Amino acid sequence: MSVPERMHIAIEESDEVCCKSCKQMEGSIGEYFEKHYQKPALWAGPMLSSPPVGSGGLDEKLDGWLKGFEEGSVVCHSPLDHPHIVKRLNQHPHKDSWKEFDILGKSKRTRNCAIRWVGATTFDLKTPLDRVFHKSLRSRVFIRSSELPLRGDQFINARLMSEELRVGIEVQKGEEDGSFTKEAICDAVMTVMDEESDVGKQIRINHTKWREILLRKGLEDGYINDFTSSLQSLVLEWGLHANVSIQNEAYMLMLKMSENSNQEKEKLHILMYPWLAFGHMTPFLHLANELAQIGHKISFFLPPKARPKLAHLNLHPHLISFVTVSVPAVDGLPDGVETTSETPMRAGPYLFDAYDLTRPHIESSLSQLRPDVVFYDFAAHWLPGLARKYGARPVYYSMFCTTFFAYLSPRARGLGPKGLMSEAEFMRAPPGFPLPEMGLRAHEARHHAWLNGFRVGLEKVPFWELFYRAIEESDAVCCRSCREMEGHFGDYLAKHFEKPLLWAGPLLPSPPGPDGLDEKLDGWLKGFEAKRVVYCAFGSEVIMFHKEQFQELLFGLELTGLPFLAVLKPPFDYETIESALPEGFLERVKGRGIVQDGWVQQQLILKHSSIGCFVNHCGAGTLLEALTSECPLVLFPQKCDNFINARLMSEVLRVGVEVERGEDDGFITREGVCNAIMTVVKEENEVGREIRANHAKWREFLLKDGLQEAYTNELNDKLLGLVGWGY
């Protein structure tokens, strides 16, 4: 079946046709359409793209290049797949004021006056320039243009713009073969740019008028309101021609649509059951706060000891109810242990058994509460089935970077939904991965394979299979991240797991309370110049396996000659920090170095003016927190997702430097630690300057007003759609 036939059938079989356009632009043509197809046309309005978010403005290099020319004097050409256009532009007599996309890469004739740019052009369109454009119906608001239609609907689009609206000039082409000449391109461009051209003047006047119309405040809202009313009428009309039962359903559907149009959003009952780690419970609670802010009710399940530690983070106690779940005693798990922070390393697998034994409690609660949605963690692979049994939609909420799961996808590697990966497979990215050069090193792949040797929980499931099951059994996957940071990896994940991906946004922790930083520590930090102190911390649960590597890290901090604050747990098989310190270390760093264990006010430390660098273990939550500080990052990944997180930060976002390690054993040297720190803190270091500049851009983006609110509203709409309440 041909494409035109498909389009014709799509229209013929519809009840109404929705058009992404305006009556002001195509009203008479719309009336003609309605008459001959005998179908109502619903006008959705222009539906302009949202303002660009998250990249910190136009690329600095490109922006600088553009600013070297007079306003309105630069020509921008797209798309990038027609090199014959460039050949003709190369010989333009006014090329000294032109910008071109040099696809061929052979631009000697246009050196210094032409540039090739590969990347998003959303920002470019708002730069004062002219454009040779291929005439798809997008981005018409900001620029006047010369039209060069190439295929499909573009030919009629060009006639609409050049003959009906008179906002552009079409490049003259051969009647039979459609070929064009360099002179034709030149003439079209000069017509719209030449201030003396009568045709150009009229084009610019018309373009300005249409720009004002399309950007008029309230235009889109008016169209959406009319669109909603038309849909309501359609639904009601459908009900009136059906039986009484369907009429009632149609009427209720119309009422719900009316409520949505008035922004009276439906309220969900959501159950959340995170894994028994504060690094999981806390982000779950951050998400609960965002959803409660909208008005949803949350039943938050957690062990008894965790309740008082998290109570201060519950910002909506009238909507977020803590429901305690007793952690059953199991052989091998010390009495009274409820979370990973209390669990000795060797007893870790037994906590999974205890978690599985909470299943009857969770099922009983589901049968009574009857929530609409259940957010669950990786270890609760049995929860999706229970959720569906009691009418809820299961959503896997991931604490990990989206890039991490995209990289580990067994489906993408042709291993099936639960396929186990070898060391060699862990080392290479899967086919089609957005960053094919990204990979795990030998020691990292060995660590992942070692983790898979653990069989955990009552079913003795291989460790990585827990994650695969959590995704496979879900109705959707919710990621604590932003599409601006990991969009390509999210698309890859959704494609191979065939699951909707819901972006929760960064979900940054709430600002610290009024108490302020510990007085003693604050006084010590104030004794040093601004941006001088190195802060090193690996979270509350990371333990280094080798005492020698623990000491080498400290030697590296000492070698910098900078003051430092190291908050670390004792290495494996050591009870205290003091027992694992190098001999004479404290004496040598006295006054400029602190090494301690325990919880610290990390948010306040990172905000302190004396802190100039953050050496961290690359936990996903830690990295988001760190990106909102002004401290450049030194990356020292320790386990599990930390390694891919480090690649994301160092190779994709370019906001940190990894500590150099042995390829096979993963060991660091004091010199490697020192070099990484000095790279990011030295003002004259070129890599460090780039790292700091990128960090500043991402910090600005993450702290932008309205960012989290936008993601929360989008997530809300997706959840309402998931349960069948969204329209």
Mean of the pLDDT values across residues 31-60? 74
Binned at pLDDT 50, 70 and 90, residue 244 comes out as very low
Best CA proximity match to 631, nearest among 657, 651, 607, 653? 607
Whole-number Å distance between alpha carbons of 74 and 193 = 10
* pLDDT tens digit sequence for 261-300: 434 457 999 999 999 999 999 999 999 999 999 999 999 9
pLDDT reading at 103 higher than 50: no
Are 327 and 350 contacting, i.e. CB atoms less than 8 angstroms apart?
A: no
Best CA proximity match to 676, nearest among 685, 663, 664? 685
Q: Is 77 a residue of the active site? A: no
Q: By three-state DSSP, how is residue 184 classified? A: helix
Cα 283 → chain centroid? 16
- For residue 475, which amino acid is it? D
Binned at pLDDT 50, 70 and 90, residue 23 comes out as confident
Task: Identify the pLDDT of residue 378.
Answer: 94
* pLDDT tens digit sequence for 131-147: 455 444 444 444 456 66
Task: Determine how many CB atoms are found less than 10 A away from the CB of residue 437.
Answer: 9
Triad 330, 335, 336: Cα angle to 5°: 110
Are 257 and 727 contacting, i.e. CB atoms less than 8 angstroms apart?
A: yes
Task: Identify the pLDDT of residue 9.
Answer: 85
Task: Identify the pLDDT of residue 80.
Answer: 43
pLDDT reading at 88 higher than 50: no
Task: Determine how many CB atoms are found less than 10 A away from the CB of residue 357.
Answer: 16
Q: What is the percent of the chain with per-residue pLDDT over 90, rounded to a whole number?
A: 52
Mean of the pLDDT values across residues 60-83? 72
Range with the largest mean pLDDT of 51-55, 107-111, 410-414, 716-720: 716-720
Task: Identify the pLDDT of residue 644.
Answer: 96
Whole-number Å distance between alpha carbons of 283 and 289 = 10
Mean of the pLDDT values across residues 405-427? 82
* pLDDT tens digit sequence for 504-521: 999 998 777 667 899 999
Best CA proximity match to 482, nearest among 57, 54, 4, 44? 54
pTM greater than 0.85 = no
β-pairing verdict for 476-479 and 393-398 = parallel
Helix (H) or strand (E) holding 378: none
Catalytic site residue from 280, 381, 448, 617 = 280
Q: Is 573 a residue of the active site? A: no
Task: Identify the pLDDT of residue 218.
Answer: 64
Task: Identify the pLDDT of residue 94.
Answer: 45
Q: What is the percent of the chain with per-residue pLDDT over 70, rounded to a whole number?
A: 81
| Mean pLDDT score of the chain | 83
The two structure tokens encoding residue 613: 């660098």
The two structure tokens encoding residue 490: 């999210």
Distances (CA, A) of 10 to 7, 13, 231, 448: 5, 5, 18, 50
Best CA proximity match to 46, nearest among 139, 151, 127? 139
Mean of the pLDDT values across residues 211-234? 67
More confident residue, 581 or 208: 581
More confident residue, 436 or 256: 436
The two structure tokens encoding residue 597: 């264990």
β-pairing verdict for 145-147 and 476-479 = unpaired
Whole-number Å distance between alpha carbons of 381 and 362 = 13
Catalytic site residue from 377, 381, 608, 617 = 377
| List of domains in the chain | 1-48 (no CATH), 60-214 (3.40.50.2000), 269-509 (3.40.50.2000), 519-702 (3.40.50.2000)
The two structure tokens encoding residue 133: 């454009």
pLDDT reading at 259 higher than 60: no
Residue with tokens 């747990």: 569
Sign for the pseudo-dihedral over CA of 26, 27, 32, 35: positive
pLDDT reading at 589 higher than 50: yes
Best CA proximity match to 657, nearest among 632, 630, 629? 632
